[in-house]
Amino acid sequence: MFSSHKTLKRRTPAKGIDRREYIGHLVDEYYTTTNVEAQEQVTANLANFAYDPINWPHLLETDALDVFLASLESQDQPLKLHGIAALCNICFVKFIREQLKPITDLFVRTDHPEIVFHSLALFYQLLESGDVDRDLLLSPSLLRTVQEWRIKAHDQRIVKLCQLLLQDFATRTEVVELQNAPPTLPAAEQPTTSAGSSG
């Protein structure tokens, strides 16, 4: 549910910390703590703030978008999820357009369904807005990953988003090529052989 400034003022105690200041404290905590669980709590809180447009100016002023971007580069799955979910919710096109590579790289290499779901939703928003060049976003590797998730996902939300993305934004030639291409697995899922294994 979206908030109004009047509602926020009524809910904030007279001596309570204001929202912009609180978000600023969260951003500072992300960078000063070395505890991953604390960072997870911070990014979860910041991602929740991203749901409501009334918070967006505060998120921008405190550089919270840089926290979301930094989360994508983490080795921690919850941090990655909070980062991509927040970017999906807030969808500041100019910022995201300048940061497409880490966002698309995360999508192509992840095996986390919720990260995939939020990434697909973000891609669809960007393409639907027309503010991001289709050819820049829909690289062959990204389209291939979309096709693979469309086939292998058990989550129908992911399947439907993959179908919509391919149907609305891929060319007929690209779709045909995807259907004829052999499936590939993310690097983490590639089968490995042990040097000491026996046949």
CB 103 within 8 A of CB 122: yes
Residue 77 sits in the same domain as residue 119: no
In a domain, 131, yes or no: yes
Strands (DSSP E) found in 21-62: none
In this model, does residue 164 exceed pLDDT 50?
Answer: yes
- Owning domain of residue 47: 18-90
Residue 173 sits in the same domain as residue 109: yes
Residue 69 sits in the same domain as residue 115: no
Residue 67 sits in the same domain as residue 110: no
In a domain, 50, yes or no: yes
Q: What residue has token string 């058990």?
A: 154
Residue 112 sits in the same domain as residue 157: yes
What's the total number of domains in the chain?
2
pLDDT in tens, 18-58: 889 999 999 999 999 999 999 999 999 999 999 899 999 99
In a domain, 10, yes or no: no
In a domain, 173, yes or no: yes
CB 162 within 8 A of CB 153: yes
Listed residues 66, 90, 114: the one ending a domain: 90
In a domain, 124, yes or no: yes
Residue 82 sits in the same domain as residue 152: no
How many Å apart are CA 126 and CA 132, to the nearest integer?
A: 6
In a domain, 194, yes or no: no
Predicted pLDDT of residue 97: 86
In a domain, 195, yes or no: no
Is pLDDT larger for residue 11 or for residue 128?
A: 128
Rounded mean pLDDT, 147-162: 96
Q: What is the pTM of this model?
A: 0.79
Residue 31 sits in the same domain as residue 83: yes
How many Å apart are CA 37 and CA 33, to the nearest integer?
A: 10
Residue 34 sits in the same domain as residue 71: yes
Pick from 62, 57, 109, 58: nearest CA to 84:
109
In a domain, 129, yes or no: yes
Residue 33 sits in the same domain as residue 80: yes
Is pLDDT larger for residue 189 or for residue 52?
A: 52
Residue 60 sits in the same domain as residue 30: yes
pLDDT in tens, 114-143: 999 999 999 999 999 888 899 999 999 999
